[in-house]
Amino acid sequence: MNKVIVLLSAIFLFISALITGCGGDVSIQDELAMIPGLCFLHVHIGDNMNMGLIPDEVNEYIPMWLCDSLHTRGSFGVSLLGINLTDLSPQLLFLSREVTTDEMLQLGIYGFNCDFEENLEGYNLIDDRGSMIGSIVGRDGWTCLVTGSGADRTAGRWLELERDESLMSDVDLISISESDADLSVLISHNSIAFVSVIPTGMLSRAEVRTLNKVKGIIQTIKPNALRISFSIIENELPVTLLEIQLVRNGDIITTLRTSFSDTGLTPEDLLQIIRDGGFLF
């Protein structure tokens, strides 16, 4: 009997150790449960992502210094919540489990070169004119930094975000969301539906033509959710992998995978060729 008790105790301790050791692991689905369902797109950046591959031009829209700082601590997410139509500036949500609100505050003060004010929920970042740059809050082990106009209101709504209001409620997106890629871009049904009803009054003729082509593609393939993933496998010969998964009406999943390797070109060289050819930016 004593041997049985000892054996059961050992099994219990082993299981406890496993649970404790795995407690820090967070899936992309866990991350999506913390992202508002009406965001335009969500980008998950994994631990192994080579941040140097992201073009410098992206810094015009996203504070890459913040992305670099968060990435040194682990994986994180960035969501496009909206666009200010007056100056086309994006409202972004940065999400991490690797930093505290106080650490995020220090990153914000240093990176934005700004002041701050504390409130009941977290912190607001304030520029030298007294305007709000961003708002920092935390819940359930996650830290969130929202940038742009009305950041404090958006951060307050994030604190009250329910699971059925998040991207986790998009069944189609969840079905293709999990990936161990270095970088994944996730686009939900709400975003795809929004593209179909974008007004054209403020667009140029060229932009209207482009938008109409996109709408035509949407009407043809009837997408419900989309994931684009990018990875580099660091072997003796680095391999660049690109995967696109699309959920279409009728629970049809389309998958496209392509890989690239070259004995004379690195992934950085390939990206530079694409940029010089005008395919990016």
Q: Are the C-beta atoms of residues 253 and 246 closer than 8 Å to each other?
A: yes
Confidence (pLDDT) at 15:
30
- Strands in 223-233's sheet, in edge-to-edge order, are 115-118, 122-126, 132-139, 142-147, 90-96, 76-83, 41-45, 183-187, 223-233, 239-248, 252-260
Residue 187 burial by Cβ neighbours in a 10 Å radius (0-12, 13-18, 19+):
buried
* H, E, C per residue of 79-106: EEEEECCCCCCEEEEEEECCCCHHHHHH
44-102 pLDDT, tens digit per residue, is 999 999 898 888 888 888 999 999 999 999 999 999 998 876 666 889 999 999 999 99
Q: Name the helix (H) or strand (E) containing 251.
A: none
pTM: 0.84
> Average pLDDT in the 10-29 region?
45
98-153 pLDDT, tens digit per residue, is 999 999 999 999 999 999 999 999 999 999 998 999 999 999 999 999 998 889 99
Confidence (pLDDT) at 275:
67
* Token output for 40: 């335009």
Cβ contacts of 129 within 8 Å, gap of 6 or more: none
Q: Are the C-beta atoms of residues 66 and 111 closer than 8 Å to each other?
A: yes
Confidence (pLDDT) at 5:
37
DSSP 172-233: HHHHHH----SEEEEE-HHHHHHHHT---TTS-HHHHHHHHHHHHHHHHH-EEEEEEEEEEE
Mean pLDDT of all residues belonging to the chain = 85
Rg over alpha carbons for the chain, rounded to the nearest Å, is 22
Sign of the torsion angle spanned by Cα atoms 32, 33, 34, 38: positive
Distance between the two ends of the chain, CA-based, in angstroms? 72
**Rounded Cα gap, residues 29 and 115, in angstroms:** 34
Cβ contacts of 172 within 8 Å, gap of 6 or more: 188, 189, 224, 225, 247, 251
Confidence (pLDDT) at 2:
41
Q: Are the C-beta atoms of residues 69 and 107 closer than 8 Å to each other?
A: yes
Among 78, 90, 93, which residue's Cα sits nearest to residue 184?
Answer: 78
Can you say how many angstroms the Cα of residue 41 is from the centroid of all Cα atoms in its chain? Answer: 7
* Token output for 167: 């991207």
**Rounded Cα gap, residues 78 and 92, in angstroms:** 7
* Token output for 117: 């004010």
Q: Are the C-beta atoms of residues 92 and 147 closer than 8 Å to each other?
A: yes
- pLDDT greater at residue 246 or residue 21: 246
Residue 259 burial by Cβ neighbours in a 10 Å radius (0-12, 13-18, 19+):
exposed
